[in-house]
């Protein structure tokens, strides 16, 4: 399936399902069972910074940045519904707000060598063309600017629950687009090894500062949690989330 076809399929899936994700996995959260920005302080001081959110969703991470003093709030997202929601959420921000409905594989008119911070919270893994997307991100950043992203750990969907056990259900080594089980096979998300993310960042010119796959478990699991996609039982075996901080040379 071609890139354009996958993007159209995923856009349709998100337009239909966007509302159930409004406000979920947004800063200061970085992903399921992961330490938060409050724990890690990856971004540091964001006051007066120009920030760009790749896959901004409902705008809640941009709202967090604005509430912490960011000077300009830019975002792009594949879906019209998400952008409209973000525009409404951010309308009272004092910072400049610029939002674009666009796939991350394309530059919808974003400036080059402009941003202090680019980030993507649980969105980058949707890209159909990773190197192309990371090349755009590298160009958006000022020299010395930082890029931080989180995504589902690539081992997470390789392991499946069967009765009271977990089994390795798919090859970690086999990369490529796959219909996603968590979305009932209605969208396509490429599977990539962790090393692919790291090596592609290096290829396009980033320096890796941190790779984090620590697990933070709740004191008490909610009822029925162990039957969910992100379960405490699975998180005891394998991280649900990985986080990478990189910098433009």
Average pLDDT over residues 64-75: 98
Q: How far apart are CA 223 and CA 117, in angstroms?
A: 38
Encode pLDDT of 225-236 as tens digits. 777 899 999 999
State residue 226's pLDDT score.
78
State residue 196's pLDDT score.
98
Confidence of residue 164 (pLDDT cuts 50, 70, 90): confident
Query: Domain 3-248 adopts which CATH fold?
Result: Rossmann fold (3.40.50)
Top pLDDT among 199 and 223 is at 199
Q: How far apart are CA 81 and CA 18, in angstroms?
A: 7
What letters, b where the CB count within 10 A reaches 16 and e where it falls short, cover 135-154?
bbbbbbbeeebbbbbbbbbb
Encode pLDDT of 28-54 as tens digits. 999 999 999 999 999 999 999 999 999
* pLDDT score of 101 more than 90: yes
Using alpha carbons only, how large is the chain's radius of gyration in Å? 17
CA 160 from centroid of its chain's CA atoms: 23
96-101/72-77 β-pairing: parallel
Confidence of residue 222 (pLDDT cuts 50, 70, 90): confident
State residue 227's pLDDT score.
77
Average pLDDT over residues 80-96: 96
Average pLDDT over residues 144-157: 98
What letters, b where the CB count within 10 A reaches 16 and e where it falls short, cover 6-33?
bbeebbebbeeebeeebeebbbbbbbbb
**Number of neighbouring beta carbons within 10 Å of residue 181:** 13
**Number of neighbouring beta carbons within 10 Å of residue 106:** 15
**pLDDT cut 70: percent of the chain above it:** 100
State residue 6's pLDDT score.
98
Q: What is the mean pLDDT of the chain?
A: 96
**Number of neighbouring beta carbons within 10 Å of residue 170:** 14
* pLDDT score of 9 more than 80: yes
Q: How far apart are CA 188 and CA 186, in angstroms?
A: 7
* pLDDT score of 223 more than 90: no
Residues linked to residue 41 through DSSP beta bridges, in sequence order: none
Average pLDDT over residues 46-63: 98
State residue 25's pLDDT score.
95
Q: How far apart are CA 119 and CA 40, in angstroms?
A: 15
Average pLDDT over residues 126-154: 98
In this prediction the pTM is 0.96
As to burial, measured by CB atoms within 10 angstroms (0-12 exposed, 13-18 middle, 19+ buried), residue 62 is buried
Average pLDDT over residues 202-231: 91
CA 242 from centroid of its chain's CA atoms: 10
């Amino acid at each position: 399936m071609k890139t354009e076809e996958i993007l159209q399929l995923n856009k349709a899936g998100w337009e239909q399902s966007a509302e159930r994700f409004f406000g979920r996995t947004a800063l200061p959260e970085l992903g399921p069972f992961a330490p938060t920005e409050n724990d890690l302080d990856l971004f540091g001081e964001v006051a007066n910074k120009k920030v760009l959110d790749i896959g901004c969703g409902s705008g809640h991470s941009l709202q967090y940045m604005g509430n912490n003093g960011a000077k300009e709030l830019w975002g792009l997202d594949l879906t019209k519904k998400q952008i409209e929601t973000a525009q409404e959420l951010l309308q009272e921000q004092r910072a400049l707000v610029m939002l674009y409905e666009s796939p991350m594989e394309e530059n919808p008119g974003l400036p080059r060598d402009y941003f202090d911070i680019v980030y993507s919270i649980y969105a980058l893994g949707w890209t159909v063309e990773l190197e192309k997307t990371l090349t755009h991100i590298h160009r958006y950043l000022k020299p010395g600017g930082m890029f931080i992203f989180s995504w589902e750990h690539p081992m997470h969907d390789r392991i499946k629950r069967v009765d009271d056990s977990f089994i390795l259900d798919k090859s970690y080594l086999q990369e490529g687009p796959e219909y996603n089980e968590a979305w009932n096979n209605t969208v396509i998300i490429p599977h990539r090894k962790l090393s692919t993310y790291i090596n592609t960042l290096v290829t396009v010119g980033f320096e890796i500062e941190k790779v984090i796959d620590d697990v933070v478990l709740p004191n008490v699991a909610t009822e029925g949690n162990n039957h969910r996609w992100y379960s405490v039982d699975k998180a005891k075996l394998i991280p649900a989330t990985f986080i990478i901080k990189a910098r433009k040379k």
